[in-house]
Amino acid sequence: MGRRARERGGFRLGTGAVALLVPLLVAGIAVVLTWDSLLSVRQFGLGFWKNSTWDPVAGVFGAFPFIWGTLYSSLLALLLSTPIALGIAVFLSDLSPRPLRQPPVFLTELLAAIPSIVYGLWGIFVLVPAVRRIETLTPAWLRRFPLFEGPPVGVGLLAAGLILSVMVVPFTASVAREVLKAVPANQREGAYALGATRWEAIRMALFYGRQGIMGAVMLGLGRALGETMAVTMVIGNTPRASLSLFAPQYTMAAVIANEFSEAADDLYLHALVEIGLVLFVITVAINTLSRLLIWRVGAERA
C-alpha cells in the first residue's frame, strides 16, 4: 500500500515537472524576446507596430508592413484552404468508397511532410510564373480596383497566399477528418432515421463537430502565420503594406530570416527581435481567441 502511494506520488511529481516545462518555456521565450528587444522598445515605444518605415541605414524601424503582410497572407491562405480541406475531410470520412480511402489520406499527409524549402522552389519555378500569367490576363478594368493594382510581376501576396494554402490544407484536412470520424454513428443514423438526405446528414455531422473543425482551421492558421522559407521565396520581400493581391509584400518571419545574419548594430538587431516578439504576441493572441471561441461554442452546446 505504502509502496503504491509512494509510486503514485513520484509519478505525479515526475509528470507534473514535465508538464510545468511548457509554461516555463513559453515564459522563457517571452522574457528573452523582451530582453533582447529592449533598445528598440525604448526607442520606438508603442509606435513600433504602426510605423511603416524600415530603414536600417537611418536606424528607423516600424513593423506595420510586416504585420500587415503576415496577417493578410495567412487570412488569404485560410480563405482558400478551408473549403478545400473540409471538402477533402467530408469526402474521405463520409462519401468515398472504403477501398479508395487510404491512398488520398496517405497523400494528404505526405503533403504535410514536404519541407517548406521544397514548396518554395516549386513556388519560384511553377507557381510564380502561373500567377504572373493570371496577372497579365487580368482585364484592365479589373486592374483598376485596389485589390488588383500593380504591375504583373508574379511574386506577391497572391503567390504567398496560394503556397500557404497548399501547405495548410493537409493539416486542416486531416484534423477535420479525425473530427468527423469521431462524430458518434448514432448522430448520423438518427438523422437518416428522421428522413435526412446524405447532404443533410453531413451538415449535421459538421455542425456536431464544429468545435473540433474550428480547432483544425486554427491549427492551419498557426502554421500559416509562422511559415518562413516558402513565403519569403515568393512574396517579393517589399515592406510596403498594400491592399493589392498582386503587390509584393513582406512578412514578419521572412524579414527576420532575411536580415538577422547581417544585422551588425544593436538597435537593428533589437528591432528584428522585437518583430519576433510581435509575432509571438500575435500568435498567442490568435490562439487564445480561438480557444475562447471554441469554449463558447462548447458552452452553447452544453
Partner 1 sequence: MKSSRSLLGWALVAAAACAVPATAGAVQIDGAGATFPYPIYSKWFSEYNKIRPDVQINYQSIGSGGGIRQLSNQTVFFGASDGPMTNEQLLAAPGKILHFPMVLGGVVPIYNLPDVGADLNFSGTVLADIYLGKITKWNDPAIAKDNPGVTLPGSDITVVHRADGSGTSYIWVDYLSKVSPEFKSKVGVATAVNWPVGLGGKGNEGVAGLVKQTPGSIGYVELIYALQNKIPYGAVKNYDGNFVRASLESVSAAAAVAAGKMPPDFRVSITNAPGKDVYPISSFTWLLLYQNPKDKAKAKMMLDFMKWALSDGQKLCGDLGYAPLPANVATMVMTALNGVR
Which residues in this chain contact partner 1 in the complex, by CB under 8 A?
Answer: 53-58, 124-125, 128-129, 132, 151, 153-155, 232-233, 236-239, 248, 250, 254, 257-259, 261-265
Q: Least distance in Å: CB of 169 to partner 1?
A: 25
Q: Is the dihedral of CA 123, 229, 41, 20 positive or negative?
A: positive
Nearer to partner 1, 244 or 287 (CB): 244
Q: Least distance in Å: CB of 67 to partner 1?
A: 17
* Cα separation values, 256 from 124, 259, 263, 293, Å: 20, 6, 10, 31
- In angstroms, the CA 93 to CA 202 distance is 10
Q: Least distance in Å: CB of 258 to partner 1?
A: 4
- Residue 81, Cβ density class (10 Å: 0-12 exposed, 13-18 middle, ≥19 buried): buried
Q: Least distance in Å: CB of 279 to partner 1?
A: 18
Q: Least distance in Å: CB of 131 to partner 1?
A: 11
Question: Hey, which residues does 55 pair with through a beta bridge?
Answer: 60
SS3 243: coil
Nearer to partner 1, 7 or 55 (CB): 55
How many Å separate Cα 60 from the centre of its chain? 29
Nearer to partner 1, 53 or 102 (CB): 53
* Total length of the chain: 302
Nearer to partner 1, 126 or 284 (CB): 126
Nearer to partner 1, 186 or 261 (CB): 261
- Residue 225, Cβ density class (10 Å: 0-12 exposed, 13-18 middle, ≥19 buried): buried
